[in-house]
Chains A and B, each alone.
Chain A
Amino acid sequence: MTAADETSAVLSPDAPEHLAQAQLRRRGAWRAYEIALWLTAVALIFVLPSKALLLTEVAILALFAVSLDLILGYAGIVSLGHGAFFGLGAYVAGLFARHYFAEPVTGLLVAGVASGLLGFVTSFLVLRGSDLTRLMTTLGIALMLAELANQMAWLTGGADGLTGFTVGPILGLFPFDLWGRTGYIYSLAVLFLATWAARRLANAPFGLSLQAIKANRVRAAMVGVPARSRIVAVYTIAAVYAGFAGALLTQTTSFVSPDVLAFHRSADVLLVLVLGGVGYLYGGIIGAIVFTLLRDWLSVITPQYWMFWIGLVLVVIVMVGRENLARWQTFLPLPTQETLKRVAGLRAGAKRGDGR
């Protein structure tokens, strides 16, 4: 704060630097719904202990979707192979626990570093070409990894998956229990820390410059944004996040199979993000909740054919228009809309203090 105080002593309150800082601080402020969401997530540990495994799944998927949101929602890079980083993280965490050290947080960090390295190397490939080229390169990398995991059976166990490793207690203190409660708390903690860091990043000048790149790369370059290095940075960070998510999956289930690298992982996470809304970090989290509930519900009704309904949801979303999902009120019958507006008006009026 001292640096900021010095700045404000020198500058008048409405100097541009000062205004920009105030604006950034306003953007970064915690909203009520965010706090409510996290409190609910914590409360679920006690309210729904029997659903801990499902909740863990949601948390891991949410982290994966937040990771994709960083590159798709903020930098505007369409990727069909984000599962590559997820899968690599999952395998690295499994192999690390098997051969070196069973403590999960260390494994998580190692997996994150490994995925980050892959992300850094491959980020140079997505800098070139059009959306189509990017789709194909990301897809190609993911498929290559899947092929590798399948072929290198001596290391990965091939199609049968990697087994025979145990995950130790977290930090040597908290062992994983049978009901998945520790797993949920662990995943939730990682998700929270990651989201916290991501929203710091997204609301900092770095995140704003990414949005400028997404909107128009040439214009961003004109105002002095180094597009290439920013994209490399955010792609690497997103890869680290996806690696974390993969590692969490390995550690909470004590199992890895080539399924973590399958194409449907990358497609699912796209759907998750789109369900929740692209371009704001909570979209991934909300999408993960909706998606997991939807899948759970559909697979009870039609155990084998839920893929059909997932596909239908995708088609309908696109046909309705992704941007219209956020404006869902406009599809309600008119009287309901007016009631909603009146309620909202009342609340706004109360805030202004004139009671109307």
Chain B
Amino acid sequence: MLTILFDGIAYGMLLFIIAVGLSITLGLMNFINLAHGAFAMAGGYITVVLMNRYGVSFYLCLPIAFLVVAAAGGVLERTLYRRLYAAPHLDQVLFSIGLVFMSVAAVQYFMGGQQQLIHLPPELSGRTEIFGVGVGRYRLFITAVCAILVIALQLALSKTRFGSQLRAAVDDGRVARGLGINVSAVFALTFAVGSGLAGLGGAMGAEVLGLDPNFPLKFMVYFLIVVTVGGTSSITGPFAAALLLGIADVAGKYYVPEIGAFVIYAVMVIMLVLRPHGLFAREGSR
């Protein structure tokens, strides 16, 4: 029981790390980016290739995955995404679906269609007992890393100069520009960090979520649910939603496997009907 709860929390944390970048592009910049899962997949594959082919340590792979994916996200933002910020939602959907299709086919071409495995370092595999509850060490590691990241993100958004610039740019781009904030640079950097976090999440999640070329399509809905249900007011909304979703998903698949996947979608639809702007929407937001 407690083990399932803990697994759910670790799963939810992972979902949150991947989805938090999406909650910024989608929630704050109002850009429907269905390709976010592709960044996570990129992170996962970078880790697999580095570890299995070049024998790089797992701990070193994580920051590399973050940096490489962040750089890729930054380049894509500068070249393609920024042109579509003002485009109709239909265009954004088409564009990002196109990116997903391309990434799925490209990964299949270079890496093959089979499931990729990651060999965790020995100190992370196996279970430990904490207060009499058996807990996977890797799950514990994920939870710890994600908890640190959540706190760091929250502090970065609320306490730093960049955080206030971002919030200003999101609330009213014109006024922010008038105040001398380089809105386009702020967005580009945010997008890059968001993509990088997705890459990091994908790298850590390859073991838990599984990694194959269909990853972006398979988990697209989960990331979207985290953001839509969580709302866009802060990162605590998506965080709560991700934890809820993680626990519900793990518990659902454990206790009622027949309808496990069904429940998530049903909850989302009902949720969106009742609160079209998300659980923790701020007043007057779009």
* Residues 131 to 185 of chain A near chain B (Cβ within 8 Å): 131-133, 135-137, 139-141, 143-144, 147-148, 151
Give the CA-CA distance A112 to B58 in the complex, in Å. 54
Contact A311 B99 (CB under 8 A): yes
Contact A141 B269 (CB under 8 A): yes
B residues near A140, Cβ cutoff 8 Å: 221, 265-266, 268-269, 272
Q: Mark B114-145, 1 if CB is under 8 A from A, else 0.
A: 00000000000000000000000000000000
Contact B265 A143 (CB under 8 A): yes
Q: Mark A307-330, 1 if CB is under 8 A from B, else 0.
A: 110111111011100100000000
Q: Mark B169-188, 1 if CB is under 8 A from A, else 0.
A: 00000000000000000000
Give the CA-CA distance A263 to B94 in the complex, in Å. 14
Interface size class of B (residues with CB under 8 A): 35 or more
Is A59 interfacial (CB 8 A cutoff)?
no
Contact B101 A310 (CB under 8 A): yes
Give the CA-CA distance A239 to B97 in the complex, in Å. 23
Smallest CB separation, A2 vs chain B (Å): 44
Give the CA-CA distance A312 to B102 in the complex, in Å. 7
Determine which of A133, A312, A313 lies in contact with B228 in the assembled complex, contact meaning CB atoms within 8 Å. Answer: A133
Interface size class of A (residues with CB under 8 A): 35 or more
* Residues 188 to 226 of chain B near chain A (Cβ within 8 Å): 217, 221, 224-225
Determine which of B84, B265, B273 lies in contact with A318 in the assembled complex, contact meaning CB atoms within 8 Å. Answer: B84
Contact A144 B262 (CB under 8 A): yes
Closest chain A residue to B101, Cβ basis: A311
Contact A151 B259 (CB under 8 A): yes
Is A224 interfacial (CB 8 A cutoff)?
no
Give the CA-CA distance A136 to B106 in the complex, in Å. 27
Q: Mark B78-121, 1 if CB is under 8 A from A, else 0.
A: 00100110010111011101111111111011000000000000
Contact B228 A136 (CB under 8 A): yes
Contact A131 B32 (CB under 8 A): yes
Contact B273 A270 (CB under 8 A): no
Number of A-B contacts (CB under 8 A): 124
Smallest CB separation, A251 vs chain B (Å): 29
Q: A133-B228, A308-B105, A315-B98 are in contact. Are A72 and B26 (CB under 8 A)?
A: no
B residues near A133, Cβ cutoff 8 Å: 228, 272, 276-277
Determine which of A129, A307, A314 lies in contact with B276 in the assembled complex, contact meaning CB atoms within 8 Å. Answer: A129
Closest chain B residue to A270, Cβ basis: B94
Determine which of A72, A129, A274, A311 lies in contact with B102 in the assembled complex, contact meaning CB atoms within 8 Å. Answer: A311
Contact A307 B228 (CB under 8 A): no
Contact A136 B225 (CB under 8 A): yes
Q: A143-B265, A314-B97 are in contact. Are A78 and B102 (CB under 8 A)?
A: no
Q: Mark B49-66, 1 if CB is under 8 A from A, else 0.
A: 000000000000000000
B residues near A339, Cβ cutoff 8 Å: none
Is B261 interfacial (CB 8 A cutoff)?
yes
Partner-A contacts on B (CB < 8 A): 26, 32, 80, 83-84, 87, 89-91, 93-95, 97-106, 108-109, 217, 221, 224-225, 228, 258-259, 261-262, 265-266, 268-269, 272-273, 276-277, 286
Task: For the A-B complex with A125-B269, A133-B228, A307-B101 known, give 18 more contacts whose Cβ atoms are closer than 8 Å.
Answer: A72-B90, A128-B272, A130-B276, A135-B89, A135-B93, A136-B225, A136-B228, A136-B268, A136-B272, A144-B262, A144-B266, A144-B269, A151-B262, A267-B101, A270-B94, A311-B97, A311-B103, A318-B87
Going nearest first, the 5 A-B pairs with the smallest beta carbon separation are A314-B98, A129-B276, A311-B101, A308-B105, A311-B102
Q: List 10 A-B contacts (CB under 8 A).
A: A80-B93, A125-B269, A132-B32, A136-B225, A139-B221, A139-B224, A151-B259, A307-B102, A308-B101, A314-B101
Partner-B contacts on A (CB < 8 A): 72, 78, 80, 125, 128-133, 135-137, 139-141, 143-144, 147-148, 151, 263, 267, 270-271, 274, 278, 304-308, 310-315, 317-319, 322
